[in-house]
Amino acid sequence: ALAASREDEEDKELRQRFMAPPVSGLRELRRRRRELRSRMELLIMETQAEVCRALAALDPGASFSVDTWERKEGGGGISCVLQDGEVFEKAGVNVSVVSGLLSEEAARQMRSRGKSLKAKDGELPFCAMGVSSVIHPKNPHVPTMHFNYRYFEIEEADGTKQWWFGGGTDLTPTYLNEEDAVHFHKTLKEACDKHDLKLYPKYKKWCDDYFYIKHRGERRGIGGIFFDDVDSPSKEEVFQFVKSCAKAVVPCYIPIVKKHRHDSFTPEEKLWQQLRRGRYVEFNLVYDRGTKFGLLTPGSRIESILMSLPLTARWEYMHTPPESSKEAEILEVLRNPKDWVH
């Protein structure tokens, strides 16, 4: 009886900590508490709640709508979206925990990345989970921020499991503020350095290369870190690294929002923000691997996948900012990424 009441207390405490009950259910998570899948689900739930609370504290007039959804093929998710606040035009923090059989298109996409997947009777059971967020502020002096941390597991024909982690955090300012760029990158570098000094430079470059809008010759923003298909040195070590990165999200971004949320701005600056958001949309719909994977996964929730798109954006024909303007300054950095921490 004592153990049962302690479990009830634990359940209550966890429920208060999260934005909604976990997809796998508290009982199931407790039963498999030593398994990495359960620990990862708890981490993404905690990250979602941490980020939502930090954002809500800066935008007290607005509140998150919390949607839980189920996927008939297996699993589900929790979408938390704040819209039309004083500070944030649209901020979404999603958790998804899905399982089932990998679609042929999704498997093809993975094989094209060098995965050798041996299907059994043409079927590949998989489990994927992650937390993903995009934050679009109203004020053009507050940057847009995106992060995503995920875990993937596939069972092959002979019963062996392939697993890997992916993720990253990156910043997309409308106007360049060097101090903010340095703070953002330093915070992420500290999270990486706890595990291996080689990680930050490697994942910073990967981020600059990944968020590249080829048809524009520009990066989407000023980068951060990005990695995918990471399956070494060991499951535990990669999980601890991902945990450090997830815990760095609030400290790398919230101070920047606090610093600029009350900055004054002109209609011209708002217009430039709308044009930059157009670029954001172009990247997400044309190149982003997560968006593509979501759209190819049967039963996925389109609203949650497209939560990353801004509430408003703009595409003007042949727009070029004047030379030596603040607008031209950010374009220079997007075309030629900088080293912010040395």
- Going from N- to C-terminal start, the domains of the chain cover 18-335
212-213 and 161-172 strand pairing? unpaired
Q: What is the mean pLDDT of residues 314-336?
A: 96
Average pLDDT, the chain: 92
Structure-token match 């993937």, residue found:
152
pLDDT at residue 2 is higher than 70: no
Please name the amino acid found at residue 91.
A
* pLDDT bracket for residue 1 (50, 70, 90): low
Report the C-alpha gap between 184 and 170 in whole angstroms: 9
The H-assigned helical ranges of the chain are 2-17, 26-31, 36-58, 104-111, 178-193, 199-210, 235-247, 249-260, 267-286, 289-296, 302-305, 326-335
Task: Say which residues have a Cβ less than 8 Å from residue 332's Cβ, sequence separation at least 6.
Answer: none
pLDDT at residue 156 is higher than 90: no
H/E stretch holding 60 reads none
The lowest-confidence range among 159-163, 203-207, 221-225, 304-308 is 159-163
| 96-118 tens-digit pLDDT | 999 988 877 777 777 777 777 77
In whole angstroms, how far apart are CA 231 and each of 33, 151, 294?
Answer: 21, 10, 22
Percent above pLDDT 90 for the chain: 73
Percent above pLDDT 70 for the chain: 96
Options 136, 141, 146, 183, the catalytic residue: 146
Q: What is the pLDDT of residue 78?
A: 96
Q: What is the pLDDT of residue 257?
A: 98
Are residues 291 and 305 in contact, defined by beta-carbon separation less than 8 angstroms? yes
Superfamily, domain 18-335: Coproporphyrinogen III oxidase, aerobic (3.40.1500.10)
pLDDT at residue 40 is higher than 80: yes
| 197-253 tens-digit pLDDT | 999 999 999 999 999 999 999 999 999 999 999 999 999 999 999 999 999 999 999
pLDDT at residue 60 is higher than 90: no
In whole angstroms, how far apart are CA 184 and each of 160, 173, 187, 246?
Answer: 39, 11, 5, 14
Structure-token match 């595409």, residue found:
315
Question: Annotated catalytic, 146?
Answer: yes
Task: Say which residues have a Cβ less than 8 Å from residue 16's Cβ, sequence separation at least 6.
Answer: none
